[in-house]
Structure 1
Amino acid sequence: MHKVIVLGTGPAGYTAAIYLARANMNPLVIEGQEPGGQLSQTTDVENYPGFPDGILGPELMDNMRKQAERFGAEIKRGWVTKVDLSKRPFTLQVSGLGELETQSLIIATGASAKLLGIPGEKDNIGRGVSTCATCDGFFFRNKKLVVVGGGDSAMEEATFLTKFASEVRIVHRRNELRASKIMQERARNNDKITWSMNRTPVEVLSDGQKVTGLKVRNNETGEEEVIETDGLFVAIGHRPNTAFLEGQVDTDEIGYIKVKPGSTETNIPGVFAAGDVQDFKYRQAITAAGSGCMAALDCEKFLEGEISTDWSQTLST
């Protein structure tokens, strides 16, 4: 029987583990299928406080892990295949670890960026392919960039990237955009943004070190062409990693976990959510770490019997 289990080892999960371990809660942390979260696939991180010269994403996550372990957090490899949150203690089926029981649970399983699934894409993540303009736009000053997508996130990413890039080309597989009118107008009125509509990405090209272009197919003619670019930003949305919950925790229509405003409490007493799994707006390492701290403090108070369990009305919106 565990007092608390933390699912996920990104900034949210590790921060929660650090706070819980220092409070003598003896947390068990389950790494999941992507130890370190999205930062483990990132190169330079220059916007995390405390590192004036920047730090490599994997190194930052390794430091967080060591810090959590230093205070007594137990970290094990495995991923949850099934949960029963209908009664306490909660029961988790974990691949490689079997059945686990816990009095409380912090879900910090993050969200995964949707990818195009074309050749050269995954191979060049961190070498010109990115899913986060806020994270990586700074590295592309005076460069030509491509943004793939047609929704609000794509328009927002493209507009943001014009602060750094010399040119931003939006590639979309249809002739019409899904983005709201105000976001479309903002992008179309930006002189740095050009358009390649009705084009389907086929392959990411590189010289072995960095991205050099994006091969696309003209959906009208079937002809293929290469768009030269120094970087490719994929902006077709994110998928919160909540499928394993099987609807036992309240989520929005996309799958992001709903939490009580100003806290990390879910609709189930004793279950908390932190990081990108409940944050569709900011999705930054620093905000994830902050919510991990909140989850640990909320969890500690819950186990001490200080948190009210009447949240249903607050979570209805």
Structure 2
Amino acid sequence: MSKEITIYSKSNCPYCVRAKMLLESKGVTYTEINVQDHPEEKENMIRRSNGGKTFPQIVIEDLHIGGCDELYELDKFKKLDTILGLNSKKVEREHHKLVIIGSGPAGYTAAIYAGRANLKPVLFTGNEKGGQLTTTTDIENFPGFPEGINGVDLMLSMEKQAKKFETKIIFGEITKIDLSKRPFTIYVGKKVHTSDSVIVATGATARYLGIPSEREYKGRGVSACATCDGFFFKGKDVAIVGGGDTAMEEASYLTNLCNKVYLIHRRETFKASQAMQDRVKNNPKIEIIYNSTVEEILGDKVEVNQLKLRSTVNEATSTIDIAGLFVAIGHTPNTSFLDGQLSLDGNGYLLVNDNTSKTNIPGVFSCGDVIDSNYRQAITAAGSGCKAAMDAEHWLEKNR
């Protein structure tokens, strides 16, 4: 008998999409309640999720699972199938010429080029289908879109184009990969795939501050996605931590919803582009707090109400009253699943040879933000995806 599954969601929420894709990959049905369209369900969602103020919130029967991260963690440790009442399936095997791991602009561009070269690529999306751009509201600097384009729309267009050239797209996260012998072996849940060549385009994941109170209030006022969770803080004061383009963009976005936005940065200068800095500095609803770090997140155990800040100049502390904190302090490259089989630089990014996409293992290529700690732009990721596909095509032709 199938379990009753309820997902509380909102429109344009990439984490809601990811949660639904995982459940759909299990072959289960669920009831989705869009709280944005049905605001009367907001208090019910908060009650059933023990105070949760982030999207999505997932309840199976009367068991509150949490959000998207918690759902994936249960699946990672092989507990989700048990909760869903699913029986284990036998292991299946499948072979491919080329496997692409990752579905951001690098992965999709690699798929488009590889598909046009008749390589019949298979692309595994990972648990964040579309990559970081799915948490971006408006992209104004991607060539060909003079009026700008929504990040989700851009990724959907790339996915559609990849499918046009016969890319097989599979929703799933690589749990293990063996690059020690040929063909390479890729494990995705209960299924085993082998491949003659691999392109790693796994991107990077948002970092958190790493302080105890952050974990305590995660989902109850602390978030890494303003697009997803700004909804809960309409008319309230919030803060965002960071100094790059993402922090600037999210601060600007939040001013459409919130009363006031504090932008907290540990330095006197920003890494963000000048255009983004100008937009923030000219917005009367944004107050910039320079040379400060978040010492502690304060609240009443249910929701956030204050931040304790520490000056990086004189160590003095101060507090500000806020209802929510958004974290935008950079990213960590997604390489842990490789288990040290490919060479990394000092910051954990994959190393490629010279001006190519070739890694230290012949037949394995890499592209996008997982190799780029400098530019980290959608257009540079797409360009490196093109290089990876062409390198893979040439290598397969030479070694067929």
Q: Which one-letter code corresponds to 1:253 in the other structure?
A: G
Corresponding residue to 1:109 among 202, 205, 221: 202
Q: What is the aligned-residue identity percentage?
A: 41
Change (3 A) 1:228 1:47: farther
- Per the normalisation by structure 2, the TM-score is 0.59
Q: Is 1:238 the equivalent of 2:331?
A: yes
Which residue of structure 1 lines up, in the alignment, with residue 226 of structure 2?
A: 125
In 1: Cα distance, 2:175 partner to 2:197 partner:
18
3-state DSSP of counterpart to 1:40: helix
Corresponding residue number in structure 2 for 1:176: none
Partner SS, residue 360 of structure 2: coil
Secondary structure, counterpart of 1:255 in structure 2: coil
* 1:102-143 C-alpha deviation (Å, 9 max, x unpaired): 0000000000120344443437523596878336747849x8
Matched, 1:290 2:375: no
State whether structure 2 residue 337 is matched by structure 1 residue 250.
Answer: no
- Alpha-carbon separation, structure 2, partners of 1:278 and 1:124: 23
Counterpart CA distance in 2 for 1:246 and 1:21 is 29
Q: 2:281 aligns with which of 140, 162, 166?
A: 166
Secondary structure in structure 2 of the residue aligned to 1:9? coil
CA distance in 2, matches of 1:261, 1:203: 48
Counterparts of 1:106 and 1:57, CA distance in 2 = 23
**Structure 1 position 195 matched with structure 2 position 295:** no
- CA contact 1:47–1:135 (8 Å) conserved in 2: no
Q: Is contact 1:147–1:158 with CA below 8 Å preserved after alignment?
A: no
Give the Å deviation of 1:258. Answer: 0.2
SS in 2 for 1:63: helix
Post-superposition offset of 1:224: 3.9
Normalised by the length of structure 1, the TM-score is 0.73
Q: Is the 8 A contact 2:298 2:305 kept in 1?
A: yes
Which of 173, 179, 184 in structure 2 is aligned with 1:79? 173
Using CA pairs under 8 Å that are at least 6 residues apart, name the structure with larger relative contact order, 1 or 2: 1
Mapped contact 1:147–1:233 kept (Cα < 8 A):
no
Q: Determine the structure 2 residue equivalent to 1:14.
A: 108
List per-residue Cα deviations over 1:220-274 (Å, max 9, x = no partner): 8987422799x96622x32100000000000012210000121110000000010
The alpha-carbon distance between structure 1 residues 266 and 283, as it changes in their structure 2 partners (threshold 3 A), is: same
Give me the whole-angstrom Cα distance separating, in 1, the residues matched to 2:294 and 2:223. Answer: 20
CA offsets 1:9-56 (integer angstroms, 9 cap, x no match): 000000000000011000000011100001111111111111111111
Structure 1 pair 8–165 and aligned structure 2 pair: CA distance change class (3 A): same
Q: Which letter does structure 2 place at the counterpart of 1:225?
A: I
Q: Which amino acid aligns with 1:79?
A: E
Q: Secondary structure at the match of 1:276?
A: helix
Quote the Cα distance in structure 2 between the aligned partners of 1:66 and 1:302.
Answer: 26
Deviates more, 1:262-271 or 1:252-261: 252-261
Match of 2:306 among 215, 219, 224: 215
Q: Does 1:300 align with 2:399?
A: no
Task: Name 1:275's counterpart in structure 2.
Answer: 368
Aligned residues, how many? 270
Question: In the alignment, is the contact (CA less than 8 A) between 2:266 and 2:292 conserved in 1?
Answer: no
Secondary structure of the residue that 1:4 maps to in structure 2? strand
Cα distance, 1:305 vs structure 2: 1.4
The residue identity in structure 2 corresponding to 1:288 is A
Q: Distance in 2 between matches of 1:123 and 1:203?
A: 17
**Given that residues 130 and 155 in structure 2 are in contact (C-alpha distance below 8 angstroms), is that contact kept between their aligned partners in structure 1?**
yes
Consecutive unaligned residues in structure 2, runs of 5 or more = 1-94, 231-237
The residue number in structure 1 matching 2:148 is 54
Structure 2 CA distance for aligned equivalents of residues 54 and 201 of structure 1: 37
Q: Is the 8 A contact 2:247 2:328 kept in 1?
A: no
Whole-angstrom distance in 2 between the partners of 1:228 and 1:40: 25
On the 8 A contact 2:208/2:327 being kept in 1, the answer is: no
Structure 1 CA distance, aligned partners of 2:221 and 2:323? Answer: 15
Q: Which amino acid aligns with 1:64?
A: M
| SS at structure 2 position matched to 1:164 | helix
Letter in 2 for 1:24: N
